[in-house]
Structure 1
Amino acid sequence: MSSFTTFLTLIVMGLVVLVLIRGLINMLKGTDANRSNKLMQLRVILQAVAIALIMLTLWITGGGRPS
């Protein structure tokens, strides 16, 4: 289970990076401000999911504490 949550966390973190880059590119182009706003909102949501998955992984594995 912990390897699944670790893998899922890495995927979500990758998505955060992709959405961040896409949002920055859209902002630098100066196109639709509404789209940039939606991308940044999506980034915040993905970051929250990533943090929750990190916390879940730490909880499942015992946070690195010896057994």
Structure 2
Amino acid sequence: MHDKPLFYLLAICCLAVVVILATGIGGFAKGGEFNRKQGNRIMRWRIIAQAIAIAVFLLYLWVRSG
């Protein structure tokens, strides 16, 4: 029962990664000034969000196994 909050946190992290990725892909597809200024920053945030999601996932697995 104590792993449910971690599951919700994991779902939120995955959703955040998807939103950041969609924003980056959309900006890349559209091109222009937004992509030129924000493209690299958005993809850096995606990598950070993915690392956090993986850490939460590993924590969730560890809690479930114990």
TM-score interval (norm. to shorter): 0.7 to 0.9
- Deviation digits for residues 20-54 of structure 1 (CA, Å, limit 9, x no counterpart): 00001111111232301111000000000000000
Amino acid at match of 2:3: S
Greater helix percent: which structure?
A: 2
5 Å matches for 1:12-27?
12-27=13-28
Instruction: Tell me the TM-score normalised to structure 1 length.
Output: 0.86
Instruction: Tell me the TM-score normalised to structure 2 length.
Output: 0.87
Question: In the aligned structure 2, how far is the partner of 1:35 from the partner of 1:2?
Answer: 36
Runs of 4+ residues over 3 Å off in structure 1: none
Amino acid at match of 2:31: G
Aligned sequence identity (%): 33
| Residue correspondences, number | 63
CA-based RMSD of the aligned residues comes to 1.3
Amino acid at match of 1:51: I
Gaps in structure 2 of 5+ consecutive residues: none
> For 1:20, what is the secondary structure of its paired residue?
helix
5 Å matches for 1:1-67?
1-31=2-32, 32-62=35-65
Gaps in structure 1 of 5+ consecutive residues: none
